Structure 1
Amino acid sequence: MYRGESHLNNTNHPLLEPLALPNGANIKNRFFKSAMSEALGTDDHNSSPVLVTLYRTWAEGGTGLVVTGNVMIDRNALGESGNVVIEDERDLALLSEWAKAGTRNGTHLWMQLNHPGKQSPRTLSKTPVAPSAIPLSGSLKKFFNEPRALTEEEIQGLVTRFGKAASVAQKAGFTGVQIHAAHGYLISQFLSPYHNRRSDDWGGSLENRMRFLLEVYQEIRKQTGENFPIGIKLNSADFQRGGFTEEESLEVIRKLAQAGIDLIEISGGNYENPMMQGANVKESTKKREAYFLEFAAKVRSIVSTPLVVTGGFRSEKAMTDAVAQGEIDMVGIAKPLALIPDLPNQIFQGTYETIKLKPMKTGLKWLDKSASMLEIVWYEQQLARIGNSQSPKPDHSVWLALLHTITTNGTAVFKKRRG
């Protein structure tokens, strides 16, 4: 029986057990690489050789299921300038290279599909769209223009776009897709009564607010078929006054499970309250490492759909315990895989040492208030190193990372960025 130690080629390790999804697809182990911002797309928003190398590295590193950074469905709605966008099959050949590299070694590679809604920086969107014309609050106002409300026709068009992007990903060779419905992006905005104040069939009651998400799911299912895995990244809550609550999240999860969703990744917060980056986390939660295990237990009590929790996992023991005790089905990992891309292989070979991630600090209070921006810049450069066949650099200076980004992108680096 497993007692917390690792053994070379230990086939009894709980994290090495395969996972069967509801549609019959099999994931070779319990490691789930959660989406991270790469900003490595080309100027015309296509895949790039750097992405091909980066995802080949993760596939060869032993992760069972790898999820891409968010791929947008509309060239006029970007989360950041380096986004890959899928609107049609024009870039199918390059997408296929990405998929082929990322599915080596029996790895599942899922494309995360997203629309930023009003979280499209003012440098990229003069007039972003949203469920309602409600601007982002507080210090975020200066980074984003005020949105306009989507029309009924536009909403239906976006549903179709999600389905089309998924069908192109399937044709290119990606083995599944994940719908990004968390962190304050468009689908999350529809779910939130704070951000969605519509009075038509797309707003008001929870049933109406979840309509957009459910229609996106059904359209993807229609265009890809019953055997193509579809997952979702969903907030446990927005942690925002008047926003999306845990009770509402559980009801959305119940509906998605009934509809046939294959995998649920739990996260939380948005950029007005970034819980997904560990803000305001309780000490008891830190000791267990994972940020959303308490909510996962509530999900477990109502649905049997496979479940992933991302955020906070660092030690082999915490990862193993969460799976072995049945709290979750897959361990979601992001930042550690930017520094140890073969982390799963190291655990299975008994060579892994618990990673300690350093806080991003410059020593300047006004700049350190933008810690999330500093983190994203620093980790994006680690991903770029891997994609350029270089080793990650854990001791890389935050100042050098910031200087490189300003030199490359100008002061636009200080706009709010995706995590």
Structure 2
Amino acid sequence: MSHLAESIQIRNVTFKNRIIKAAMSEALANHAGEPNQIHYGLYEAWAKGGLGCAITGNVMVDARAKNEPGVVIVETERDLDKLKHWADIGKKYGMVQLIQLSHPGRQCPKGLNKETVAPSAVPFSPLLATTFATPRELHEDEILDIIQRFAESARICEKAGFEGVQLHGAHGYLISQFLSPITNKRQDQWGGSIENRMRFLLEIYKAVRSKTSEQFIVSVKLNSADFQRGGITEEEVIQVFKAIDAAGIDLIEVSGGTYEAPAMAGAKAEKRKPSTIAREAYFLDFADKIRKEVKCHLMVTGGFRTVVAMNAALDSGACEFIGIARPFAVETDLTNNLIAGQDVRYAVEQIKTGIPFVDKMAIMEIIWYAAQFKSIGEGKRPNPKLSPLKVFFNYAKNNVKAVIKGRVNSRKSA
């Protein structure tokens, strides 16, 4: 029997197979950040396709800090009934659902929020500085507030019926900004040594655990590297993995990269060793190494395309779960097909608009797939030949509308 079809249990939650849909941006909510019928339709399509577990796209813990228009926000019980409906979809089909909780920190487009905050006031690289503003450094009382926001959001998610949460500690979002010496220049207890830089993550985990039950799953997504000169070292990364494992984390998803070095989208694939390419997954070699250091469950995401490679990764013991993201945007029944022995049908290639400065960023690797999600959620078939240029111009238009609406609302509340 395929390892992919094997069930596994975390706490008292049973995962019916080893395939997890990794988080991808959906951008389906209204300006207020409320989930809706399109979310329900999207996740039901994946559930009907046999998926064992779905990790949602970014869900913000603070309405003042949105990473993009259309993101879901969970900071109060305002949308509890809507969240319960969402959670019930998974229960109906036996699909575990983890809400990915996130704070983007500095990684917010200019004008979307009143301001952006981060561990330190570090500007972006020249390429991205036109899109992302230099953030303001967080005060300690604000850091403590954000920690409690993660915990409160997790409490609400459990009350709604979700089986767990994933803390987004990768891809250049706030937790990973604290971890990286490039973006964290602080000289207090939240910066400097790796012990101080990982304090933010560990305090969030403790706060989440204190507000949720013993059976609630808490996972985290972490970079194996940020692929930037002067960034977090491999030795430091291993320290972070060991520390969060010792604290009691249930599951770590291994990923890598940031918006400025987007390895999570396969941008670094050409630099991988032949042996790594043969194994398909971008971060499987690191998972092999970290498996010897931690006891918690591991999930590897990025690059898997064949059943043989997925089963080999599970058989090797490097991970217990196979994370797949972009193929689910064009193949909703992917899980059933993989378990039946069929490889991923659609080759995932870099999405290009033909506009050089846009194509150098990772943004199209997010918004093109989000456009597919909208179609699926509305009951339509995904379109693998959807024009990237059309998607980009629609995204830009909606971004401008969101910025204008945000400024109007800011003036009203001032």
TM-score, with normalisation over the residues of structure 1?
0.91
Alpha-carbon separation, structure 2, partners of 1:205 and 1:400: 46
1:317 matched residue in structure 2: 308
Residue 247 (structure 1) aligned to one of 235, 238, 248? 235
Q: 1:363 to 1:125 in 2, by over 3 A?
A: closer
By how many angstroms is 1:24 displaced? 3.8
Q: 2:298 aligned with 1:307, yes or no?
A: yes
Q: 2:284 aligned with 1:296, yes or no?
A: no
Residue 122 (structure 2) aligned to one of 112, 129, 134? 134
CA contact (8 A) 1:63 1:107 kept: yes
Residue 256 (structure 1) aligned to one of 238, 241, 244? 244
Alpha-carbon separation, structure 2, partners of 1:406 and 1:148: 25
Alpha-carbon separation, structure 1, partners of 2:364 and 2:182: 28
Q: 2:139 aligned with 1:161, yes or no?
A: no
1:124-203 aligned within 5 A: 124-203=112-191
CA contact (8 A) 2:169 2:175 kept: yes
> Which blocks of at least 5 consecutive residues in structure 2 are unaligned?
404-414
By how many angstroms is 1:353 displaced? 5.3
CA contact (8 A) 2:253 2:298 kept: yes
By how many angstroms is 1:364 displaced? 4.8
Alpha-carbon separation, structure 1, partners of 2:394 and 2:134: 30
- Give CA deviations for 1:52-101 in whole Å, capped at 9, x if unaligned: 11011111111111100010000100100111111110110111111112
Alpha-carbon separation, structure 2, partners of 1:396 and 1:28: 33
2:408 matched residue in structure 1: none
Instruction: Specify the SS of the correspondent of 2:97.
Output: strand
Percentage identity across aligned positions?
A: 47
2:409 matched residue in structure 1: none
Report the more deviating stretch, 400-409 or 307-316. Answer: 400-409
Instruction: Specify the SS of the correspondent of 1:103.
Output: helix
Q: 1:127 to 1:408 in 2, by over 3 A?
A: closer
- Give CA deviations for 1:279-335 in whole Å, capped at 9, x if unaligned: 122252333210001100111111121111101111111111111222211000000
CA contact (8 A) 2:166 2:221 kept: yes
- Give CA deviations for 1:236-284 in whole Å, capped at 9, x if unaligned: 1111122112211111111111111000000011111111111122252
CA contact (8 A) 1:175 1:228 kept: yes
- Give CA deviations for 1:109-137 in whole Å, capped at 9, x if unaligned: 00000000011111213421111111122
1:416 matched residue in structure 2: none
2:268 matched residue in structure 1: 280
Alpha-carbon separation, structure 1, partners of 2:250 and 2:236: 20
CA contact (8 A) 2:265 2:365 kept: no
CA contact (8 A) 2:351 2:388 kept: yes
2:52 matched residue in structure 1: 64
1:348-367 aligned within 5 A: 348-352=339-343, 354-367=345-358
Residue 202 (structure 2) aligned to one of 209, 214, 232? 214
2:68 matched residue in structure 1: 80
Q: 1:239 to 1:403 in 2, by over 3 A?
A: closer
CA contact (8 A) 1:75 1:85 kept: yes
Alpha-carbon separation, structure 2, partners of 1:162 and 1:411: 28
Q: 1:367 to 1:225 in 2, by over 3 A?
A: closer
1:328 matched residue in structure 2: 319
CA contact (8 A) 2:74 2:153 kept: yes
Alpha-carbon separation, structure 1, partners of 2:72 and 2:392: 23
Alpha-carbon separation, structure 2, partners of 1:276 and 1:245: 17
Cα RMSD, aligned residues only: 1.8
Instruction: Specify the SS of the correspondent of 1:184.
Output: coil
- Give CA deviations for 1:179-234 in whole Å, capped at 9, x if unaligned: 00001111001111121111111111111111110000000000002211000000
Q: 2:4 aligned with 1:15, yes or no?
A: yes
* Partner amino acid, structure 1, of 2:385: D
Report the more deviating stretch, 285-294 or 181-190. Answer: 285-294
Report the more deviating stretch, 288-297 or 317-326. Answer: 317-326
Q: 1:366 to 1:213 in 2, by over 3 A?
A: closer
Q: 2:256 aligned with 1:268, yes or no?
A: yes
CA contact (8 A) 2:18 2:321 kept: yes
* Partner amino acid, structure 2, of 1:18: S
Q: 2:364 aligned with 1:374, yes or no?
A: yes
Alpha-carbon separation, structure 1, partners of 2:381 and 2:174: 35
Alpha-carbon separation, structure 2, partners of 1:248 and 1:353: 35
TM-score, with normalisation over the residues of structure 2?
0.92
